[in-house]
Amino acid sequence: MNRIYSVCWNITEKCNELCEFCYRTLAEDLSLAENKAIADKLIEHGVEKITFAGGEPLLYKNLFELAEYIKTQKPSILLSLTTNGLLINKNNRETILRLFDWITFDLESTSVEYHKMVGRGEKHLSKNVDNILFFNNKINLKINTVATKQNINDIPYIWELIKRFNIKRWKIFRYYPINFKAQDNEDYFSITDEDYKNLKDRIMIITKDANVQIDFNDFEDFRTTYFSIFSNGTLKDNTGNVTCNILQDSIAECISSIDLTNHMTRKKAYEKFIDKK
Ligand code: SF4
């Protein structure tokens, strides 16, 4: 692997939710000038898609300025925003529509109680249904769901909710006890291989006629798919050790320092889905 096509950029590790399955790091943010320097490297390398995530990316105060800079430097680049949705309001949603090609919201269940219990808060569900209603048919919409022992039986019902909208992708992450709170709460949230497989089978059956790309993200995918930059510019290998800092090191050094065995597999799956449409 000597090229990457997409980047997951955790632009800030700050967050306004308190999810009990969260595995973010608690690194500091970089300045706008430093992040522009990283963006220049990504553009020069030929990156086709950047997903801003976190933490909550809307808490990075220069997010829109950075996105604007990237779009000016490379108009064809796809920008994606993965947000918990709480900070979206009438003042910023038109800017989001102008700068981003994709937006991703998190839905964990059809139950307010579950979102409250896992630390997302009691307003998370209604706020994000409102967000989906607003963004529906205006931008490419994606839903992320973390599958845990506590919500696994409710996940098929999320489909009943989201199939009413023009959702392009639904990604179901297997709860991954790698770091931070996710590690502390392993016993409470972990699901077995068999349960995860059964969930996958069930989701594939109920979505089989739908025009939506379904992605499942198991442990192996976490470890071998993503070129993820943390808020301080570091990258980590699949054991969690820092391997490089993209601000100081070259992209080539960063690419060779982590396992990206399945990086292109995801791109191919997406292109296959687009071709089928
Ligand atoms: S899982 Fe995401 S939304 Fe929840 S606390 Fe962690 S970074 Fe924030």
Residue-by-residue DSSP string for 227-263: -EE-TTSEEE-TTS-EEEETTTS-HHHHHHHS--TTH
Q: Where are the beta strands (DSSP E) in the chain?
A: 6-10, 49-53, 78-83, 102-106, 140-147, 167-174, 213-217, 228-229, 234-236, 242-245
Q: Is the CB of 22 under 6 A from ligand 1?
A: yes
Question: What residue type is 112 in one-letter code?
Answer: V
**How far is residue 255 CA from its own chain's centroid?**
20
d(CA 174, CA 129): 23
User: How far apart are the CA of 18 and the centre of ligand 1, in A?
Assistant: 6
d(CA 61, CA 67): 12
Tell me the pLDDT tens digit for each residue of 20-52.
Answer: 889 888 899 999 999 999 999 999 999 999 999
Greater confidence, 273 or 139? Answer: 139
Q: Which residue has the tokens 């992320």?
A: 144
d(CA 157, CA 139): 24
21 CA: nearest ligand 1 atom: 1
Least confident window among 40-44, 151-155, 176-180: 176-180
Q: Does the pLDDT at position 275 exceed 90?
A: no
Q: Is the CB of 84 under 6 A from ligand 1?
A: yes
Per-residue confidence (pLDDT) for residue 222, from 0 to 100: 87
User: How far apart are the CA of 83 and the centre of ligand 1, in A?
Assistant: 9
| Residues 6+ away with beta carbon under 8 Å from 183 | 23, 177
Number of alpha carbons in the 13 Å side-chain half-sphere of residue 162: 35
Mean pLDDT along residues 58-79: 98
Per-residue confidence (pLDDT) for residue 180, from 0 to 100: 80
Q: Is the CB of 55 under 6 A from ligand 1?
A: yes
Q: Does the pLDDT at position 181 exceed 80?
A: no
Per-residue confidence (pLDDT) for residue 21, from 0 to 100: 86
* Cα dihedral sign, 95-168-276-220: positive
User: How far apart are the CA of 55 and the centre of ligand 1, in A?
Assistant: 6
* Closest protein CA for atom 2 of ligand 1: 55
Q: Does the pLDDT at position 277 exceed 60?
A: no
Q: Is the CB of 24 under 6 A from ligand 1?
A: yes
Mean pLDDT along residues 39-67: 97
* Closest protein CA for atom 6 of ligand 1: 22
Q: Does the pLDDT at position 266 exceed 80?
A: no
Q: Which domains does the chain have, with CATH numbers?
A: 6-276 (3.20.20.70)
Q: Report DSSP state, residue 52.
A: E
User: How far apart are the CA of 251 and the centre of ligand 1, in A?
Assistant: 27
Per-residue confidence (pLDDT) for residue 186, from 0 to 100: 87
55 CA: nearest ligand 1 atom: 7
How distant, in Å, are the alpha carbons of 179, 195, 263 from that of 270?
Answer: 29, 25, 12
Least confident window among 39-53, 64-78, 177-191: 177-191
Greater confidence, 249 or 239? Answer: 249
> 109: pLDDT confidence band, cut at 50, 70 and 90?
very high
Mean pLDDT along residues 186-190: 90
Q: Does the pLDDT at position 272 exceed 90?
A: no
Mean pLDDT along residues 245-260: 95
Q: Where are the beta strands (DSSP E) in 69-130?
A: 78-83, 102-106
Per-residue confidence (pLDDT) for residue 183, from 0 to 100: 84
How distant, in Å, are the alpha carbons of 22, 61, 68 from that of 180?
Answer: 7, 24, 32
Mutate-to-test residue for ligand 1 from 14, 19, 185, highest number of ligand atoms within 8 A of CB:
19
> 88: pLDDT confidence band, cut at 50, 70 and 90?
very high
106 CA: nearest ligand 1 atom: 3
* Closest protein CA for atom 4 of ligand 1: 19
User: How far apart are the CA of 84 and the centre of ligand 1, in A?
Assistant: 7
Question: What residue type is 109 in one-letter code?
Answer: S
d(CA 181, CA 191): 16
Average pLDDT, the chain: 93
